[in-house]
Amino acid sequence: MVVLPQPVTLENHISLIPTYKPVPVLTSHSIPVVNLTDPEAKTRIVKACEEFGFFKVVNHGVRPELMTRLEQEAIGFFALPQSLKNRAGPPEPYGYGNKRIGPNGDVGWIEYILLNANPQLSSPKTSAVFRQTPQIFRESVEEYMKEIKEVSYKVLEMVAEELGIEPRDTLSKMLRDEKSDSCLRLNHYPAAEEEAEKMVKVGFGEHTDPQIISVLRSNNTAGLQICVKDGSWVAVPPDHSSFFINVGDALQVMTNGRFKSVKHRVLADTRRSRISMIYFGGPPLSEKIAPLPCLVPEQDDWLYKEFTWSQYKSSAYKSKLGDYRLGLFEKQPLLTHKTIV
């Protein structure tokens, strides 16, 4: 177990947090939008996963009052005195974190809570967070996770149906499994003072999500950016009533690279704080991750080696935030030896 120093020690080292110049805003009509009640939803989802690795979901069925209530409870937690919040940290990986992101030197203009989303698996730090909050916080988390999981199941089953994956629950059953390794992350990006040179602080540096999919909801504060195919960074207009879905590394592998795990980051707003709630849908630790045989029948055509989710999670935890984690699991082309005469 890795034990991190107390996060409060970074308060006097804010200069460690990187900055960027603002980038152009990606207009809302450029973001793939999927209405989950649309008969063509499954086709639109697959197209978005292929082209962006990212899309917005509307008519998702999650109650608006539930999203608002969890946001307000999260705001209440982050407003607690620092000494009380620190009782739920440092994260291992669950619990409360402040500015440090992971154990490998990454920092950001952020504080967060990472909670175990599987009630079958106990986590002392998840319990520590709940001890610092009223009962309604825990109830809000549990109700929200129940409904957001249904969104993730529906999306993955639509993907399976469109791609012809049988059975239809091949992907979703990994998240439904009683041993699924899923989590809920609540991020708080405080408002940042605008600097003289018009630079803004990085809240969460560029990265991909390791799991199968991520389901994100935030308040109406800007900051989320994705990296598109030409390598440019573009900002995603916020929408507190909708969800944004990210393809994760594991899904990229299972589709043999047909879907792309989207690289993304968050920049801190200079005027308003940002609250985001992300459900990371992960498989059981023992689950084998490899290109699906129904999509890639011949192993010689696999772009990735087979690995367990536990192996990949361990490897990702040892890496820096922006590392290309899948590189270690790509299959190397066979070398042909020529006889020299």
Has residue 37 been placed in a domain?
Answer: yes
Has residue 11 been placed in a domain?
Answer: no
Contact by Cβ (8 Å): 192, 270: yes
pLDDT of residue 10 exceeding 70 = no
CA torsion sign for 17, 18, 24, 26 is negative
More confident residue, 176 or 339: 176
pLDDT of residue 21 exceeding 90 = no
DSSP state of 318: T
pLDDT of residue 35 exceeding 60 = yes
pLDDT at 112: 97
Give the C-alpha separation, 141 to 118, whole Å: 12
pLDDT at 205: 95
Of 51-55, 122-126, 148-152, the one with minimum mean pLDDT is 122-126
For the purposes of burial, counting CB atoms within 10 Å of the CB of 29, is it exposed (0-12), middle (13-18) or buried (19 or more)? exposed
Q: Which two tokens stand for residue 9?
A: 């020690």
The residues assigned a catalytic role are 274
Peptide bond into 5 cis (omega under 30): no
Domain count, the chain: 1
pLDDT at 15: 55
pLDDT of residue 47 exceeding 90 = yes
Q: Which range of residues forms the domain containing residue 207? A: 33-318
Give the C-alpha separation, 40 to 295, whole Å: 21
Has residue 313 been placed in a domain?
Answer: yes
CATH number, domain with residue 95 = 2.60.120.330
pLDDT at 132: 87
Q: Which two tokens stand for residue 228?
A: 């598109």
Give the C-alpha separation, 177 to 314, whole Å: 20
Has residue 235 been placed in a domain?
Answer: yes
Q: Which two tokens stand for residue 129?
A: 């967070």
Has residue 12 been placed in a domain?
Answer: no
Question: Is 245 in a helix, a strand, or coil?
Answer: strand
pLDDT at 232: 87
Residue range 261-293, pLDDT digits in tens: 999 999 988 789 999 999 999 999 999 999 999
Has residue 7 been placed in a domain?
Answer: no
Of 143-152, 185-194, 251-260, the one with minimum mean pLDDT is 185-194
Q: What is the CA radius of gyration of the chain?
A: 20
Give the C-alpha separation, 329 to 48, whole Å: 25
Residue range 305-336, pLDDT digits in tens: 999 999 999 999 999 999 999 999 999 765 44
Instruction: Identify the band that residue 146 occupies on the pLDDT scale cut at 50, 70 and 90.
Output: very high
Has residue 24 been placed in a domain?
Answer: no
Has residue 14 been placed in a domain?
Answer: no
